[in-house]
Amino acid sequence: MWLYAAAVLVGLYLLWRWHRERQTVPRLSEKYVLITGCDSGFGNLLARQLDARGLRVLAACLTETGAARLRAATSPRLQTVLLDVTSSQSIAAAAAWVRECVGDRGLWGLVNNAGTAIPTAPNEWLTKDDFVKVLDINLLGLIEVTLSVLPLVRQARGRVVNVASVMGRLASFGGGYCISKFGVEAFSDTLRREMRPFGVRVSIVEPGGFRTGMMDPATVVKGFRHIWDRLPAETQAAYGHHYLETYAKSTVLLHRLSSSRLSHVTSVIQHALLARFPRSRYAAGWDARLVFLPLSYCPAWLTDATISLFLPVPARRTPESP
């Protein structure tokens, strides 16, 4: 008897949740959404999808070529602006342009999507500048863009959607990428609490492995070899050339195993922007939901042991202390 009652309650809860999450905000054609990183990948696809739904998309691209291609594939409603998120001057100019576009309506949505993962390599192989290159785009640029248009979002009682990564929950390789995504998670969490009294909703999207072009295997492997060539001879001897080759092959294999269905990510971004009751976090991709997120809740020894199975062994491995 109690089992049947519990099953009915669970069913009613799931039905209520399904109905609640299907409700969307009204008057989409009046809403402006700014998206960064629209030259390719998630940003490009999202801009085209939102434009098809009638929203007024403000697409920020790094290059004029990317902007021209996007304009050619969309309606006249979509407008583009050149934006380098590492440049305060570029961000200020883009923010002024957005302010002029939206007028008194404010900015309904900001999607911080621009990002990079290169250079990436074992931490000891990298310099401070290597970390800074990634952090400037993925974290500091995201923060500055957000702060520059946040009054407009607050005016519209709108949404901020930050594209982080499941690697912001579980760091599995060296370099600035995972560090930056942990930072995006922290910034988003604090911003969500601060903006809630103003009616602004902040969501985090945590994709797994997707082929966005951000980590082209040929480019990554070339970067590995360039970083390897500048290492001191002692460091090269400690790791061994086999470590380099295995690390590079693992990166290529991970790229092949990654999903090409970018719509898995853009669909949850759309929900965060357009649902009446958006979630605070969205996981995208089966690897994120079934592997990395569960693993992030495991004890450190288990997480370390699992990830270490996929890491190469250095030539001069030091035996563990008893």
Sheet holding 281-284, edge to edge: 79-82, 56-61, 32-35, 109-112, 159-163, 201-207, 281-284
Token pair, residue 163, equals: 């594209």
Determine the 3-state secondary structure of 67 from DSSP.
helix
**What is the C-alpha separation between 159 and 163, in angstroms, rounded?**
13
Residues 6 or more apart in contact with residue 132 via CB below 8 angstroms: 176
DSSP annotation of 24 reads B
Determine the 3-state secondary structure of 25 from DSSP.
coil
Beta bridge partners of 160: 110, 202
Distance set, CA 146 to CA 82, 85, 191, 212, 260 (Å)? 16, 11, 10, 23, 29
Token pair, residue 40, equals: 């390719």
**What is the C-alpha separation between 272 and 124, in angstroms, rounded?**
38
Q: What are phi and psi of 56, to 5 degrees?
A: -95, 100
Contact 141, 178 (CB under 8 A): no
Sign, CA torsion 64/70/76/82 = negative
The catalytic residue among 177, 239, 247, 282 is 177
Which H or E run contains 229?
helix 217-229
247 is catalytic: no
Which positions are catalytic? 177
